[in-house]
Structure 1
Amino acid sequence: MPLFHSSSHSSSDRSSIDDPNTTSSHSHRRSHRSSGSGSYHSSSSTSPSSSRRHSHSLFGHSRKNEDPSILAAKEQVSRAEAAEREADRALMASKRAVREAREHVRRLDEEAKMEARAAKMKQDQVKSITKRAKPLGRHV
């Protein structure tokens, strides 16, 4: 049995050497393999354990193996997100109602100013007519 030969590493070493995107440093390739992040996977690996390990759905749709506390936390986060969306809707509705109320008050203020101007004009006209009517009736 050879000391420096491993069948599981030989196919991955060959695939990483052939890959033009990898560097030629052997220590660089080894650091990817030894890191616990799981980000280094050989495309030529067909072992049953690796296919079993990656049989889970990428987005967590396989819930039968999840811990109940994880499921509860996910549901709680989902409810919190829904409550936040509802709060956002309520906030937007509130802002819209405030905007409409302010616009209504602005229109009422404009109408009141127009009516005040009309009343002032009417009052000025009445004064003018009163001045003209004052000398009337002296000849009686």
Structure 2
Amino acid sequence: MTREPILLAHALSTFDQRWSPRIVTQVNDYDVRVAKVEGEHVWHAHDDTDEFFLVLDGELTIALREQEGERSVVLSTGAVFVVPRGTEHKPSSKDGASIMLFEPTGTSTVGDRHEDVPDHVDATTGHALEP
């Protein structure tokens, strides 16, 4: 990891792939990831960790399956949301968005429980950010 400031706009300009996060830096045992998203992800859950979302640009919808039933939250630029551990969720963005995520290092983008992963979703623990 670099010991220099990282401009998020520059980090996002280094790749075009959707649903394929890049690891910008690490904080203790957590990755700070950025991703470009568009269309639908996959229903999935992280059994042992919460998932933090920050929308840097655009709009992100997160569908949730909770005890009370299904609901969706809509996050606009600057909004944050935490999906509690064990909660099935499915992020999507109709017109595209740039997001930041905080997750324990090694956390899979498709969680511990997921439906079939479509070709446009990268099942990864994050990719190194290109200089």
- Superposition TM-score, scaled by structure 1 size: 0.18
Q: Say which one has the larger Rg.
A: 1
For CA contacts below 8 A with separation 6 or more, give which structure has more relative contact order.
2
In terms of fraction of residues, the more strand-rich structure is: 2
Q: Which has the higher helix share?
A: 1
Task: Provide the TM-score with structure 2 as the length reference.
Answer: 0.18
